């Protein structure tokens, strides 16, 4: 009896080991297929002609499980532009499959939450192929200091990588960041910062004082248009440039929810945090104020991003929006990392999918 029991036990152990080995082989095979697929079919190359807006960071400066620091990629035709590079931007762009061909970065302003992922984005690009220049970094005056700071911070890392892989694989000539500063002339409210391959990018002043310069960007390509607000209180200049656009990506801060944090800070004796929660409200825009701009400008769709504060419960989306859905009755979405909003050339459709879910 004892011998039969031992035999059965050995058989079970062998079967289990066999099952694990089969499972491991299947996992490796799946991984192999996924790698081939991802490398042979980059996501951006598979998109239709038109403008596609990919959210690579829908949050603000708060730690947020669902939303990284501010980052919005705009794919227009064969070009890709990344507006702001908040924390985790590089990782999220990688998870979305958007690294592949070259891109430029445009900064709206130099608040830490909009630039703290820049080093990794520049590094991921450098490790990609077919580059002829360092990363081109567009931004208002001051972008030179940001570029120089990151270049110095990453100088040792770059030297290690060139030494390890060789200058053919990691050439110093394409490492680092090349600033492309622009200034909006006095008396004007905008400047065209780039016009190439049918894509026109206009920077316009926004209202984020005391932070300045601070800009938003408008993208035009083959009759489709997108405005990205950057950080701003409700801005008449933004409203001027967002008139009739297909998609308005507007920042949003909920005073109701930020005041909850302020009051909790006061109750628990943190007067400093309470003051900061008070101060941040005057240079951002509430969801209903963003909705009013979308309504008055007759935009095609409104995508709220730079979501402040974080929404750890889905049920908080209602209190976050307040009456925004009553104010703007068109498509209105709260952005999440991975969102892809597509505006195909040649028609008026607007669709939202996700590259992460």
CB of 52 or CB of 306, closer to Zn ion: 306
Q: Which of 344, 342, 343, 340 is nearest to 353 (CA)?
A: 340
In whole angstroms, how far apart are CA 159 and each of 117, 130, 165, 313? 20, 20, 10, 44
CB of 120 or CB of 207, closer to Zn ion: 207
Q: Report d(CA 153, CA 213) in Å as an integer.
A: 24
* Least Å from the CB of residue 283 to Zn ion: 7
- Collapsing DSSP to helix, strand or coil, 236 comes out as helix
| Both structure tokens of 172 | 């110093």
Question: Strand pairing of 104-106 and 79-83?
Answer: parallel
| Both structure tokens of 2 | 């004892």
Q: Report d(CA 84, CA 56) in Å as an integer.
A: 10
* Least Å from the CB of residue 277 to Zn ion: 15
**φ and ψ at residue 219, rounded to 5 degrees:** -110, 130
CB of 249 or CB of 350, closer to Zn ion: 249
CB of 60 or CB of 97, closer to Zn ion: 60
Residues that bind Zn ion (CB under 5 A): 111, 113, 231
CB of 112 or CB of 351, closer to Zn ion: 112
* Least Å from the CB of residue 275 to Zn ion: 17
Tally of CB atoms within 10 A around 150: 22
* Least Å from the CB of residue 17 to Zn ion: 53
Q: Report d(CA 240, CA 20) in Å as an integer.
A: 62
As annotated, the active-site residues are: 113
């Amino acid at each position: 009896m004892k011998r039969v029991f031992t035999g059965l036990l050995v058989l079970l152990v062998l079967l289990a080991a066999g099952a694990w080995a089969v499972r491991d082989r299947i996992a490796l095979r799946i991984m192999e297929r996924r790698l081939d697929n991802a490398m042979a079919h980059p996501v951006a190359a598979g998109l239709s002609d038109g403008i596609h807006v990919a959210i690579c960071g829908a949050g603000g400066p708060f730690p947020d499980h669902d939303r990284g620091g501010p980052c919005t990629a705009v794919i227009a035709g064969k070009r890709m532009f990344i507006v702001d590079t908040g924390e985790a931007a590089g990782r999220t762009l990688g998870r979305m499959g958007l690294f592949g061909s070259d891109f430029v970065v445009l900064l709206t302003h130099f608040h830490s939450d909009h630039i703290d992922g820049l080093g990794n984005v520049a590094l991921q690009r450098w490790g990609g192929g077919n580059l002829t220049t360092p990363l081109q970094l567009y931004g208002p005056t001051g972008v030179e200091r940001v570029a120089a700071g990151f270049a110095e911070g990453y100088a040792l890392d770059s030297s290690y990588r060139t030494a390890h892989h060789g200058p053919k694989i990691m050439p110093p000539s394409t490492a680092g960041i090349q600033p492309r500063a622009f200034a909006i002339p006095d008396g004007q409210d905008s400047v065209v910062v780039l016009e190439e391959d049918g894509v026109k990018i206009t920077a316009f002043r926004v209202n984020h004082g005391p932070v300045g310069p601070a800009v938003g960007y408008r993208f035009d390509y083959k009759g489709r248009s997108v405005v990205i607000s950057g950080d701003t209180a409700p801005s008449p200049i933004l409203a001027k440039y967002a008139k009739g656009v297909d998609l308005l990506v507007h920042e949003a801060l909920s005073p109701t929810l930020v005041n909850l944090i302020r009051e909790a800070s006061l109750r628990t004796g943190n007067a400093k945090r309470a003051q900061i929660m008070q101060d941040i409200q005057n240079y951002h825009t509430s969801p209903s104020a963003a909705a009013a701009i979308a309504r008055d400008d007759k935009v095609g769709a409104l995508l709220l991003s730079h979501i402040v504060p974080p929404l750890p419960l889905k049920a908080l989306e209602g209190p976050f929006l307040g009456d925004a859905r009553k104010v703007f009755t068109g498509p209105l979405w709260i952005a999440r990392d991975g969102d892809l909003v597509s505006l195909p050339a040649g028609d008026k459709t607007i669709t939202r999918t996700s590259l992460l879910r």
